[in-house]
Amino acid sequence: MEKGFLNVALAQISPVWLDREKTIDKVIQYVNDASEKGSQLVTFGEALIPGYPFWVERTEGARFNSQQQKEIFAIYSSQAVNIEEGHLDKLCKTAKDKSIAIIVGIIERASDRGGHSLYCSLVYINQLGEIKSVHRKLMPTYEERLVWSLGDGNGLQVHKLGDFTVGGLNCWENWMPLPRTALYAQGEDLHVAIWPGGIQNTIDLTRHIAREARSYVISVSGLFRKEDIPDDFPLAELMRNNSTDVLANGGSCISAPDGSWIVEPVVDEERLIVATLDHKQVRMERHNFDPSGHYSRPDVTQLIVNRERQGVVKFKD
């Protein structure tokens, strides 16, 4: 790839819902496809492995101490990703073998928080197959709080990829000005917003962030249809009866640093979207506005970010 350019891929796909291993295998297929198309970065939607908790608002998920909801949570937890147990090892090996960076949304069952609570996490794997950051969603949105725990600032990090500096946030975190600012200040010029799927989320905010940051913005979404609900899901019939045919319609897209579309939102289609980004466009747009550089006033306003990984105990042996 010529200096200053970056080939990127957006994999707008549905999970094999609530099946971690089959979903990882599907992700790997798309990583291989992206590599064959010359991509240096491939991105996937929020909570893709093993899937978004679409059942909550469709099966009385707020009913306290419900035996059925506890059973579903136990299934979800069993299929969540525990990085320390090696659940992402195959994916990391693929990244290394193909020399491609990966951003993917997972449901993380975190060992450092006892191994049972779940976090919505964005994972960055570099071209050497190394997991360089795991960003746990700071504030789950609305009904998500019934199954996901609150994250922390440890994953508010950026990563060099060629001439670009890449960062990302989960879903509605992208509406939060201060986490965005934390990434901008570290030199981010390629922002990756990951979503469970929905053009209503991506069509306005993608271009807004691009113009605010003067950065490229990738919004990558998942898909989910009624037919993706497995027959052995405990409340499959109830969930289907309370669902439209399409629960998540995608909306993946790419905006240039001036807010113009490189790829307009793609809906209702499982596909790999590829594009080439030119870093020169970032430098051009930073000429008249740089939110963390010449157009900032740190003597007047500053942001303090706590990136310590949070936990309930510190051991001193």
Q: Hey, which residues are catalytic here? A: 46, 137, 171
Token pair, residue 311, equals 């936990």
Residue 52 burial class via C-beta count within 10 angstroms: exposed 0-12, middle 13-18, buried 19 and up: buried
Residue 119 has phi, psi (to 5 degrees) of: -130, 140
53: preceding bond cis by omega (within 30 degrees): no
Angle at 191 between CA 176 and CA 42, to 5 degrees: 130
